[in-house]
Amino acid sequence: MKDKNRKNSKVVKLKTSFESNNLIYTKKLRTILGVSLIVIILLIVRIGFLQFVEGSYLQEQAYNQQTINQIISPKRGNIYDSTGKALAISAQVDTITINPAKFEKDSDEETQEYRETVAKGLSEIFELDYQETLDKLNSSSQVETIAKKVEQDKVDELKAWMDENDISVGINIDEDTKRYYPYSTVASAVIGFCGSDNQGLSGIESKWDSVLTGTPGKIVSSQGSNQEEIPNAEETYISAENGSDLTLTIDLNIQTIIEKYLKQAVEENECSRGGNVIVMDPSTGDILGMASYPDYDLNSPYTPNSTLAKTYDSLTSEEKNEALYKMWANKSVAETYEPGSTFKVITSAVALEENITTTDKQGDFYCKGYEEFEDVSNSTIRIRCWRTNPHGSQTLRQALMNSCNPAFMQLGKRIGAPTLYKYYEAFGLFDSTNSGLYGEQSSIFQKLENVGPVELATISFGQRLNITPLQMITAISCVANDGILMQPRIVKSVTNTDTGAVTEIPTTQVRQVISEQTSAEVKSMMESVVTEGTGRHAAVAGYSIGGKTGTSEPTEANKDEGYVASYVAISPVENTKVVLLLTLYDPKGDNGYQGGQVAGPVVSQMLSEILPYLGVASDATSDSNSNSSNYITVPDIRNKTVSEAEKTLKDAGFNTKTYVNGDSNTILVQDQNPKPGSQLPKNSLIVLYGEGSTTSTSVTVPDLKGMNASQATSALKNVNLNINIEGSGTVITQDYLSGEQVPEGTIIKVNLRSTLTDAH
């Protein structure tokens, strides 16, 4: 006890609170713990954000850093005409790229000097801006493109330069394709073109781009942190799926025929807004030919054509873009027009189908030169006939033959707007035709409730309504096809270039619009238009042609647009194989602006070559030329001596002109003009070219318009040209325009017709 007390007595009790610097206040501890907790929470949130929100992106970034993706471009599908001729092809070219990171040396100065040398070489080879090329070499990007669509000669030049400068890495030559159009301007508005990335920008190239393009492939390999490919790393190869080939319904032979005569018609008639032509098979809806003029070169689509080039430099940038888009436009579907009197065929078909009249009912219509109507303001409006001298009493057939506006205004009133609109819809005039063509527009009609007496009168003869040429020819084809409306077709089949499988695009029958009997009656009246009426200029010897002229005048608000002269034709009249629609915009030439005078002769020229080409049998019992007994066949005298050839030709009744360098008795004929098999009158000229002779004298074609057969023959003979005559009367067309340069001996085909004194 004593010892215990002694120990306790040594304990000193403090009267003040104890404080020590070696202990942490509870308050501070809590603060530290709180801050730590917040940091931990923030880290967890950040990790969650990176994992769940940005996980995919970061994974992609890591993949991109660790892998090399080399794209394998698919080959774009080709486009062919219906006979197998290539209209658009993809040729093998190369794309040149660089990897800027691989152009490095030991020091910054050496690196910059090296890059400047490379930039100079690349810019000179590919004709590029030096500074822009140097900027790409100094770029931090993994890959920079230097040049696309490089031809083989440039690739060879690049490879030689790389060898000279001992450059083996950093410059890549990758396979690519470039779009070519073998026929340049042919069917340009239909085919369209591609951009530098092989994407379709216009025409079929754009409308069917997804089919033509295919799917790119790629080669995937691994790379290290130094951006170098890891040797022996696993490589993944995904092959490209090439684009499919398209076969169009367009026939290149028919296309070149219509383009030749369309160009002549636009230039000769000074059509300020160009022209358009469509050829269709009414039984299938196949578009056999479709052309707009002026055209453009598909291989250089951004180069203005000759017409646009006259004003192009004076335009603003915006105006230049608008002008190029207009140049590329397909007038057949992208622009609407007032069809004028060609539309009377539709009005006639509706009237006959509804039993409102018959084809040959005497005195059914009476033309006093005009019709009068009251407009919404109760003012009297007088709409005149095209002819000053009234047509008087007429049947429906005669009214169509004479293109009499008052008769069709009377007919429209009998039919009524509701019935007309019902048939317009049935003919497909209110809807797009779904042809597969690029940029197709629809029609513009007054709303039915807004059609008063004046509007009903004008639409009855094809004015104050707007449709596309394709809608018009589709409706006429329905009339020609026993009343069955077919959907227009431009693509015939699609070929998978990887498997060879061919998918046919089927023809589509839309509906029966009019009866077979009505169809036959309308076609009969259309034939009368050509044989006896206002459409005589479109006649073709040996073939039955049905037709209708059209001349639509501009509205007061659009006077600058001028008249539209048009002609629609069918042939043969029975079992029709071809429907052709020609439209000429704002003709101002010496031939006037009326469809019969301006468009009719051109239609005759086109059909005179299209029908024989399609194998349509001619019912001509003799040549249309009055001197047909004098026509003889040109023999083939090539590979005979010149003197022997001259004797053969003279014995056959021809005159000759020779180009020979040497002895005519030993030198062989290497060429002749006209070619063997041509049909020519006696005393025509045959030009012979001996071996080694390159002389080919060109002469100027004279203007034969208005001449009779004898005068035209004499005019051509005076300049060593030959003639082929069709018809009788005076010359209305010639297949080479006056002023053109052609070789001696060339045959100039002329169409003669009696003077037209009737309608337009």
> Does position 3 have pLDDT exceeding 90, yes or no?
no
* Residue with token string 């009524």: 416
The pLDDT value recorded for residue 758 is 45
Question: In terms of pLDDT, which residue wins out, 507 or 33?
Answer: 507
Structure tokens that stand for 547 in this block: 């037709």
Confidence tier at 190 by pLDDT (50, 70, 90): very high
The pLDDT value recorded for residue 25 is 65
Confidence tier at 245 by pLDDT (50, 70, 90): very high
Confidence tier at 380 by pLDDT (50, 70, 90): confident
Q: For residue 208, which of 406, 435, 8 has the smallest C-alpha distance?
A: 435
Question: In terms of pLDDT, which residue wins out, 146 or 696?
Answer: 146
Confidence tier at 728 by pLDDT (50, 70, 90): confident
Q: Which residues pair with 666 in a beta bridge?
A: none
Query: On the CB side of 241, how many CA atoms lie within 13 Å of its CA?
Result: 10
Q: Each residue of 308-340: pLDDT tens digit?
A: 999 999 999 999 999 999 999 999 999 999 999
Question: In terms of pLDDT, which residue wins out, 18 or 187?
Answer: 187
* Residue with token string 């040396």: 105
| φ and ψ of 70, to 5 deg | -105, 115
> Does position 5 have pLDDT exceeding 80, yes or no?
no
Structure tokens that stand for 112 in this block: 């910059």
Q: Each residue of 456-478: pLDDT tens digit?
A: 999 999 999 999 999 999 999 99
Mean pLDDT of 673-681: 89
Q: Which of 91-100, 122-131, 443-452 has the lowest mean pLDDT?
A: 91-100
Q: For residue 176, which of 197, 156, 191 has the smallest C-alpha distance?
A: 197
> Does position 234 have pLDDT exceeding 80, yes or no?
no
Question: In terms of pLDDT, which residue wins out, 715 or 629?
Answer: 715
Mean pLDDT of 260-286: 96
Q: Each residue of 521-543: pLDDT tens digit?
A: 999 999 999 999 999 999 998 89
Are the C-beta atoms of residues 495 and 501 closer than 8 Å to each other?
yes
Q: Is the dihedral of CA 33, 37, 40, 46 positive or negative?
A: negative
Coil/strand/helix, residue 44: helix
Structure tokens that stand for 352 in this block: 């006959």
| φ and ψ of 346, to 5 deg | -70, -45
Confidence tier at 760 by pLDDT (50, 70, 90): very low
Domains recognised in the chain with CATH numbers: 69-248 (3.90.1310.10), 340-613 (3.40.710.10), 628-753 (no CATH)
Mean pLDDT of 440-445: 93
Burial of 144 from C-beta contacts in 10 A (0-12 / 13-18 / 19+): middle
Confidence tier at 697 by pLDDT (50, 70, 90): confident
- How far from 574 is each of 214, 359, 510, 544, 596, CA to CA, in Å? 45, 17, 22, 8, 23
Q: What does R_g of the chain's alpha carbons equal in angstroms?
A: 39
The pLDDT value recorded for residue 759 is 42
| φ and ψ of 5, to 5 deg | -65, -35
Q: Each residue of 395-411: pLDDT tens digit?
A: 999 999 999 999 999 99
> Does position 355 have pLDDT exceeding 90, yes or no?
yes
User: What proportions of the chain, in percent to the nearest 5, are helix, strand and coil?
Assistant: 35, 25, 40
The pLDDT value recorded for residue 623 is 42
Question: In terms of pLDDT, which residue wins out, 37 or 366?
Answer: 366
Q: Each residue of 543-561: pLDDT tens digit?
A: 999 999 999 988 877 888 8
Q: Which of 48-57, 183-192, 440-449, 704-713 has the lowest mean pLDDT?
A: 48-57
Q: Is the dihedral of CA 534, 535, 541, 543 positive or negative?
A: negative
- How far from 645 is each of 677, 680, 721, CA to CA, in Å? 15, 17, 19
> Does position 625 have pLDDT exceeding 50, yes or no?
no
Q: Which of 219-223, 469-473, 624-628 has the lowest mean pLDDT?
A: 624-628
Confidence tier at 678 by pLDDT (50, 70, 90): confident
The pLDDT value recorded for residue 622 is 42
Confidence tier at 649 by pLDDT (50, 70, 90): very high
553, 555, 559, 562 alpha-carbon torsion, rounded to 10°: -30
Confidence tier at 590 by pLDDT (50, 70, 90): confident
Confidence tier at 627 by pLDDT (50, 70, 90): very low
Mean pLDDT of 410-428: 97
Q: Which of 118-122, 150-154, 216-220 has the lowest mean pLDDT?
A: 216-220
Mean pLDDT of the chain: 88
